[in-house]
């Protein structure tokens, strides 16, 4: 049962990750760093945020530790000074690490650490961490859908 459920969860998480990448596919550096929403969040910064989220939940929370970031932690969450190549490589690396952890860890595994807010109470095992990451990634894929439509009018991008 655990393998079937784990496979289903991984499939849905990968679908949302794929949507994020498909929405941004083919855009140049200027477009990826253009803010069109009132928050000022750029698509590239949002992808970096998703990389941080993967790292935080699967490594810091579930395992209780994470490798050092490849750059200093930045206080500005809505933009990034990094290139798209750096950010997409970081996101890919964090997804691969998360996938490896998911593949080798039972869904009932309790986190070694705790997220600091109410989500810490909700994420009682790996299963709930994966569900949270599906939710987090889907939410931001929706933001990117809106951003892309405002930027160039394209809609319906992505695998689903």
- Domain range summary for the chain, segments of one domain joined by +: 2-152
Asked if 141 contacts 23 with a C-beta cutoff of 8 angstroms, the reply is yes
Please give the pLDDT value at position 3.
Answer: 84
Asked if 51 contacts 87 with a C-beta cutoff of 8 angstroms, the reply is yes
pLDDT band at 75 (very low <50, low <70, confident <90, very high): low
At the fourth CATH level, the homologous superfamily of domain 2-152 is: dinb family like domain (1.20.120.450)
Please give the pLDDT value at position 72.
Answer: 83
Q: Model pTM?
A: 0.93
* 111-159 confidence digits (pLDDT tens): 999 888 777 678 899 999 999 999 999 999 999 999 999 998 988 877 6
| Mean pLDDT rounded to a whole number for the chain | 92
Q: Does the CA dihedral 12-132-85-103 come out positive or negative?
A: negative
């Amino acid at each position: 049962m655990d393998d079937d459920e784990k496979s289903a969860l991984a499939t849905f998480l990968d679908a949302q990750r794929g949507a994020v990448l498909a929405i941004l596919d083919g855009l140049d550096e200027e477009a990826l760093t253009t803010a069109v929403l009132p928050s000022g969040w750029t698509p590239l910064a949002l992808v970096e945020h998703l990389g941080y989220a993967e790292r935080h939940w699967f490594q810091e929370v579930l395992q209780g530790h994470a490798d050092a970031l490849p750059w200093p932690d930045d206080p500005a969450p809505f933009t990034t000074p990094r290139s798209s190549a750096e950010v997409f490589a970081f996101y890919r690396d964090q997804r691969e690490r998360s996938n490896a952890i998911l593949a080798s860890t039972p869904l009932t595994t309790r986190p070694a650490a705790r997220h600091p807010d109410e989500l810490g109470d909700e994420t009682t095992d790996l299963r709930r961490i994966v569900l949270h990451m599906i939710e987090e990634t889907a939410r931001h894929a929706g933001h990117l859908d809106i951003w892309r439509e405002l930027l160039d009018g394209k809609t319906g991008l992505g695998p689903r």
